[in-house]
Homo-oligomer: A and B are copies of this chain.
Amino acid sequence: MQNFDYQTPTRLIFGEGVVEKLQKVMSAFGKKILLTYGGGSIKKIPAFRNQNSAISNQYSGLSLYDYVRETLKDFEIIELPGIQPNPKYDPSVLEGVRLCKEHKVDVILSVGGGSVLDCSKAIAAGACYDGDPWDLISYKVKAQAALPIVDIITLAATGSEYDCGGVISRTETNDKIGYLDRHLFPAVSFLDPTYTFSVSRKQTAAGIADAMNHTIEQYFVEDATLLNDGFCESMLRSLMANGRKCIENPEDYKARAEMMLACTYGCNGILALGNSESGWPCHSIEHALSAYYDITHGEGLAIITPRWMKHILNERTLPRFVKYGVNVFGIDASLDEWTIANKAIEATYAFFESIGIPMHLREVGIDDSRLDEMAHHIAVNEGLENAYAALTEKDIKEILMASL
């Protein structure tokens, strides 16, 4: 087992109606708030679906956005709307940092999905740094501080609400960088499962695939503990069972809630404490896809994952695939090991396909014209020669080809 130094200081306030505590929570951080959000879905989501308390009665009928503005009317709010999926360094991060500095913002309130929150984290660090924020994101300079962040999450997927990382894209250089710093844990995350009722089938499926892949990336390692293996297997079984229910009945509270909770564990390390590093190979590959083509992250991961699995299956990795197949998919343990492993990979593919994810790169607008360039970019930048199953540029190219 590896040594580790671990802390997840974020306070999770979870359940229907919990946003009624927002004003009280924000009061602890000061008076000036940068309110970040995306394309405007928060202006449609109802803040309270049921009126079962004084506050939910008082604000009955308001959208989440209107409720936030109303309950925080005694605060000074500066807005940064329009943050896109695969959030962009320019303009969103740069504009957010500028606003924070100009208005001497005390705290960022991020309302939306993982992209809004990831962008908010980069802003939080950039706001406390005198130089170019890219210095921090590219790890040229280590952040010394960050503004506190409170978030209201509206999508179950990335786990950004319970981790200290974010992913930022810089269009002109085709960079999509996963940026981690211990200052970037949200101080408080509000998670109301009803806010995900209106998430589309496509985005729900992408979220399931994202969280499943977070788990798979941590499961396939050399020396996993029995404890972590069981946690990961439970994550995968829960995400598949509840994810399917969310697709079938978008307003199934119990399923949405369990999926939301499972997603929070995806990237904060709890699934892999003491394990060796896996290298997160599917993420490394997918980041290039969405940097070059701006595709939906979860879809890219779902496409890559089974092809990566097939590529790395060999004598050494076989026992992991057998364990995965038996414990996650319930494949008969008495079968031949290679049969179990291949069935497990097929079951992974079949699950993603069954929830409606397009399982070929061509279906998401990626042809073979830039595969060489992407494979080279990944090989040079992502360090996959040190992954659980080492990947050369040739390996990466083959995985991409198989995904077409």
A residues adjacent to B (C-beta < 8 A): 1-18, 193, 225-227, 229-231, 233-235, 237-238, 241-242, 253-254, 257-258, 261-262, 270, 273-274
Contacts and interface: CB of A to CB of B under 8 A. Distances in A.
A241 B10 CA distance: 32
Contacts of A270: 270
B233 A230 contact: yes
A165 to B, nearest CB: 18
A238 B224 CA distance: 12
Given A3-B14, A225-B261, 15 more contacts: A1-B253, A1-B254, A3-B18, A5-B11, A5-B18, A8-B8, A14-B273, A226-B258, A227-B238, A227-B258, A227-B262, A230-B237, A233-B234, A261-B273, A261-B274
Contacts of A16: 3
Interchain residue pairs A-B with the least CB separation, the first 9? A230-B234, A3-B15, A227-B238, A7-B11, A1-B257, A226-B238, A6-B12, A9-B9, A225-B258
Contact of A234 (B17, B231, B241): B231
Contacts of A231: 230-231, 234
Q: How many identical chains are in the complex?
A: 2
A262 B12 CA distance: 22
Given A6-B11, A14-B274, A261-B274, A226 B237 contact: yes
A279 to B, nearest CB: 21
Contact of A15 (B4, B12, B226, B227): B4
A258 B233 contact: no
A138 B355 CA distance: 52
A227 B274 contact: no
A225 B7 CA distance: 25
B7 A7 contact: no
Contact of A4 (B8, B12, B242): B12
Contacts of A6: 11-14
B226 A241 contact: yes
A12 B5 contact: yes
Contact of A5 (B13, B237, B262): B13
A235 B241 contact: no
A231 B237 CA distance: 11
Contact of A2 (B8, B15, B233): B15
A2 B193 CA distance: 11
A6 to B, nearest CB: 5
B1 A258 contact: yes
A13 B13 CA distance: 26
16 contacts: A1-B253, A1-B257, A3-B14, A4-B14, A4-B15, A5-B14, A6-B14, A7-B12, A225-B261, A226-B234, A227-B234, A227-B258, A229-B234, A231-B234, A261-B274, A270-B270
